[in-house]
A and B are shown apart, each in its own frame.
Chain A
Amino acid sequence: MIYDVRQVTTYRYAAPVATASHVLRLSPVDRPGQRVLSMALDVEPWPAERSEARDFFGNGLTRIALHTRHEALVLRTTARIDVTPPPVPEPEVTPPWETVRELAWASADLTPTAPVHHLFPSRRVPVVADITAYAAESFARGRPILASAFELACRIKADFAYEPGATDVTTPVATAFALKRGVCQDFSEIMIAGLRGLGLAAGYVSGFLRTEPPPGQERLEGADATHAWVSLWCGPRAGWIGLDPTNAMLAGLDHIVLAVGRDYADAAPVDGVIIATGDHALDVAVDVVPVDAPAASGPV
């Protein structure tokens, strides 16, 4: 499936910003299961310094520095992406989760796609005893890893209320867990915390869902903004498999990856340091339209 993706991120500052440095993760890149056919990231105002790179996890990274006074920063991503998800193994025939755990612990791989990076507490996702206990209910002894994890994703969808505004990007995962509500970032980080508490390797994925569902299907939660889901290492054979606890589904044809990492902090679309006195307002608009289908919200 080929998609046209458009994301416009706008920061408006209460007081003009004199100087700013940012690291942007707003450029989709080729990954297993997706190919970027074309991509542009426009920055307004025009930055004094700009360079492109990849971060440790292979995400597209843009470094910008602005030395002129500005009251707004507009970041516009336009991309055409071909999504061909790799086949997912039958959940019930994946290896027992304890086996996968031992393999991850003993792994002799420190490269960016290795499971070891996702075994430990990270900046935003600590190991929380309560969340581990919650997750453990789906992980009976010897149960296949993907079957257990999928059940966990379904339980999160069932037990937690999807409620934009109940949390923000800084809400600690333990707080969201206690609130029993939140958005895709919270659901994903709760699931990651639970999986890591059990000793499994779980990572964070940020990306997009198609905006309008195919005819006859329901619109997915999180389709009008950037989305987030979980990537679980299921052993050397199956590798990384995406699970979307917000929609209780496996990541597939509708999921377009923007960035991956241990948690939101690694995959944050915009990191930055600004010299300013005032507050700011943030607006993110996302539009994902299949190329072969008529665009619902006008031509891209």
Chain B
Amino acid sequence: MTGRAPHEPDLAGCRQALIDGYRPLPGVRDEMMDEGGAVRPHWLPVLDGLAALGPAEVGRRFQNADRYLRDSGVFYRLYDDAAGVERPWPLSHLPLVIDPKEWQALASGLAQRATLLERLFADIYGRGRLVAEGRLPAAAVAGSREFLRPLVGTLPEDGTGLGIYAADLGRGPDGRWWVLNDRTQSPSGAGYALENRITMGRALPELFEQLHVVRLAGFFQTLRAGLTSLCRSVDSRVCLLTPGPLNETYFEHAYLARYLGFVLVEGADLTVRGGDVHIRTIEGLERTDVLLRRLDSDWADPLELNPASRIGVPGLVQAVRSGNVTVANALGSGVLESRALLGFVPALARHLVGRELEIPNVATWWCGQPLEREAVIADLDAFVIAPAFEPTLPPLLRSGSVVAAELDAPERDALIELVRRRGVDLVAHEAVKLSTTPVWRDGRLEPRPFVLRVYLARTRDGWAVMPGGLCRIADHIDARAVSMQRGGRAADVWVPSEAPVAPVSLLPAPGHVPIRRNVGPLTSRVADNLFWLGRYVERAEAALRLARLLAARAAERERRGTVTTRLIEELLLAWEVVDTPPGTMDLIRLSVRALNHHDAQGSILALASAARRAASVIRDRFSPDAWRALTELEMALSRTVPADVTGATVLARINQALRITASFAGLAQENMNQLAGWRFLEFGRRIERAINTCRFVRQFGVAGAPDEALDVLLELADSQITYRMRYVMVAARAPVLDTVVLDSSNPRSVTFQIERMREHMAVLTTRLVREPTSPPERLLLRLDSGIATLDASDIDMLDMIRAEQTLMDLSDAISDRWFTHRGEADETP
């Protein structure tokens, strides 16, 4: 690849420029460069590729990559941040490249370790022979909070309790890879690895081709097939059980569920009846028998595990015990993550898999044993001391581990005292010096320590390894803080191959949501959120139209409110879009206030935020474009407005926001799968629009309303053009009300909304409801007949009030029928 390039001299020069000044840190191995300063052969094509693009182009590509991540809504959540802020995914633009031969050895060693761990898992919760035979101290198991006693005896004997396993790896100065940690609870990051890959594939496609980087999709196919094969019946679906949107990796849960075609559920979406696990869907309860668990075991069942959990499924443990559901990873799998076990795994290898470990884990001694304990105390400065079971152990080990040699005398004494008194809680391990990989900073390369996480999935025939992984890179040269929570970055991991690789992707082309024709059951919670999303967006639009009227008047230099202006202000106040009494504020300031006043519950910004929140709970149902429209709306509204803003500027801003809501409506119409979920979104919009239109009529269309008010009504209902085409005259009450309320060809009329609702209702109820007519149907019929019998010339305001009330009752009835399952407890599923 390098030898025959026509511009060889230039390329070599450019490459040299890239690595100019790049030097491995003293005593630390670098992935890209050897001790002599020479680039390792498997990195040459990457550097040449970058050199060929040139620094300007590379910078542009990387910017595009960041924009893509932002636009796709890839984020993770910071826990220690009070506001629980979502951070854009920090991608390091340079991949970690691993030599294919070396990768083979890693893959084999990790498969061996996964096999060992699943056998250890089965033994701990099963026959307990390793403990009974003295190979593993009982306390090294019992000390883990994740040794969940109610699960003892519930694991399959064949050792298939783990569905997915990940290992954190580091490379020492001698070039050997070491396992630093086992991830067995519910390994996170595979979805981020996939996003990294997609982003890098877009940023550097030619490099990707040239190196024949092995693709990841095959791994996910294997994972999906493995879990799907556990289903007991063909029509049952795999669920991905998430703690919910507040979890740091919720994005990944939604992303993986969508990618794998699993149903994303929270604990509240599931219910155990008669020992079986069911999904609460809009069609009633639906059985499920495989859960991909992203919720920590202890929180999974408040009845038998942590009673404080509000995010679990009461009775799940009993369902597991009865064999009616398979959870992957099996409940209690976190016990394998204890550092204490690292001290025993090497010796257990011979017993459990018949061979020595192919990849060692970091040398570890559990201080619960008298000989080890005394040896550690005798040579304390040689060790790092860490909690054996917990992440931290305040006060001494409040930030995890300590390097004994770095302690002052009193701390050192306290540590020795702790080891003596409760050595069971501690391990000692060798200090690890992580190798470094290059990161792109300010147009040049710099070495940074990293940890590599590699994922494995269980198949019927053993373990499959993801050809790549998640590389987490420290922000500083100090290797001890490799954490996404502490400002680190992530990188894609490339394993080149000799031959071109066939493109396989489970992912649809960007911008198109559906991945399968059958998107699976719609959970009640999702339907609920879609319904409210529809209502919020529609209300925001209605409020924007009101604000636009004010801004337009302000732009025309109208300062003093007319009667009509006053009516608009009144309605804005009634909807709590603003909190200032009519006539007390300048129109420009008032319209700005309507947009983004923080204290008003119903400000348009508050409505947009509510819409975005509702959507965030159901992100797996959304196209990235529709999601982007919602975040853009919020951003557009929250932009600060200069004090001397003109009416024209405000008007432009409102029009921009209206364009976004229109584009959201279009995206929902065009890009959402038009199954039940879309209908609930639509239903929400239609109900809200009907309510708003009735309210507009009451405000601007009373008998004797001025012509100007009737004009406003036409504008709010977006019906001026229709009206002018029909009636060559100024606005008159009866024809205006006919257009706005009764005209079924006007997409903003009340009648039009009712007709759409009747269509949705027909589809939802013929498929779903067993009873002859349900309360929502009856209410809709009542509404329909009430409006249909109206005569435009004598529409009474009472008619509108009645219609609004029926619409609100309808909203409640929909909620009762499909979302809260009120009364369902008495039904037998």
Contacts and interface: CB of A to CB of B under 8 A. Distances in A.
Interface stretch (A49-57, A242-250, A280-288): A49-57
A273 interface: yes
A110 B128 contact: yes
A105 B149 contact: no
B139 A107 contact: yes
A57 B304 CA distance: 13
A107 B826 contact: no
A68 B826 contact: yes
Contacts of B370: 102, 106
Contacts of A68: 826
Contacts of A13: none
Interface in A75-132: 102, 104-112, 114, 116-117, 119-120, 123, 127, 132
B150 interface: yes
Contact of A119 (B142, B152, B307, B315): B142
A66 B643 CA distance: 61
Contacts of A10: none
Nearest to B827: A67
> Most A CB atoms within 10 A — which of B132, B138, B306, B421?
B138
B135 to A, nearest CB: 9
Interface residues of B, number: 36
A182 interface: no
B825 A18 contact: yes
B303 A273 contact: yes
B303 A19 contact: no
Contacts of B142: 110, 114, 116-117, 119-120
Nearest to B309: A273
A225 interface: no
A39 B134 CA distance: 40
B177 interface: no
B141 A110 contact: yes
B648 to A, nearest CB: 51
A105 B318 CA distance: 31
Interface in B279-306: 302-304, 306
A173 B826 CA distance: 41
Given A105-B137, A116-B138, A21 B424 contact: no
Contacts, number: 96
Which of A67, A110, A127 has most chain B Cβ within 10 Å? A110
A63 interface: yes
Given A111-B128, A116-B139, A198 B302 contact: no
Contacts of A56: 149-150, 152
B304 A23 contact: yes
B134 A120 contact: no
A271 B307 contact: yes
B825 A110 contact: no
Interface in B347-372: 368-370
A102 B142 CA distance: 15
Contact of A199 (B304, B421, B826): B421
Contact of B138 (A23, A108, A127, A199): A108
A119 B421 CA distance: 12
A105 B139 contact: yes
A142 B132 CA distance: 29
Nearest to B388: A120
A104 B124 CA distance: 18
A272 interface: yes
A119 B423 CA distance: 11
B218 interface: no
B49 interface: no
Nearest to B822: A18
A248 B307 CA distance: 32
Given A18-B825, A111-B128, A198-B421, A63 B318 contact: yes
B166 to A, nearest CB: 26
Contacts of B131: 108-110
A290 interface: no
* Interface core residue of A56, A102, A105, A117 (most chain B CB under 10 Å): A105
A203 interface: no
Contacts of B700: none
B208 interface: no
A108 B274 contact: no
B368 A105 contact: yes
A197 interface: yes
Contacts of A132: 421
Contacts of B133: 108
Nearest to B140: A116
A265 interface: yes
A114 B139 CA distance: 10
B253 to A, nearest CB: 23
B307 A265 contact: yes
A104 B303 CA distance: 30
B731 to A, nearest CB: 49
B417 to A, nearest CB: 11
A159 B133 CA distance: 45
Which one of A19, A65, A67, A120 has the highest number of Cβ atoms from chain B below 10 Å of its Cβ?
A: A120
Interface in B112-156: 124, 128, 131-134, 137-139, 141-143, 149-150, 152
Nearest to B389: A120
B314 interface: yes
A102 B124 CA distance: 22
B422 interface: yes
Given A108-B134, A109-B138, A127 B318 contact: no
B546 to A, nearest CB: 36
Contacts of A109: 131-132, 138
Contacts of B138: 107-110, 114, 116
Nearest to B274: A49
Interface string A4-21: 000000000000001101
A77 B133 CA distance: 41
Contacts of B826: 67-68
Contacts of B128: 110-111
B150 A271 contact: no
Contacts of A116: 138-139, 141-143
A271 B303 contact: yes
Contacts of A23: 303-304
A268 B304 CA distance: 11
Interface in A187-202: 197-199
A148 B128 CA distance: 33
Contacts of B314: 21, 273
B302 A273 contact: yes
A106 B303 contact: no
Contact of B423 (A65, A105, A120, A123): A105
Contacts of B424: 105, 119-120, 199
A108 B149 contact: no
A269 to B, nearest CB: 12
B96 to A, nearest CB: 38
B422 A199 contact: yes
A67 B185 CA distance: 33
A63 B316 CA distance: 13
Interface string A253-280: 0000000000001001001110100000
Contacts of A110: 124, 128, 131-132, 138, 141-142
Given A22-B303, A108-B134, 11 more contacts: A57-B149, A105-B368, A105-B423, A110-B124, A114-B142, A120-B142, A127-B422, A199-B422, A199-B424, A268-B307, A273-B302
18 contacts: A21-B303, A55-B150, A56-B150, A102-B370, A105-B424, A106-B368, A107-B138, A109-B131, A109-B138, A110-B131, A110-B132, A111-B128, A116-B143, A120-B424, A120-B425, A123-B306, A197-B422, A271-B302
- Listed from nearest, the 4 A-B pairs whose CB atoms lie closest are A56-B149, A116-B142, A19-B825, A116-B138
Interface of A: 18-19, 21-23, 49, 55-57, 63, 65, 67-68, 102, 104-112, 114, 116-117, 119-120, 123, 127, 132, 197-199, 265, 268, 271-273, 275
Interface of B: 124, 128, 131-134, 137-139, 141-143, 149-150, 152, 272, 274, 302-304, 306-307, 314-315, 318, 368-370, 389, 421-425, 825-826
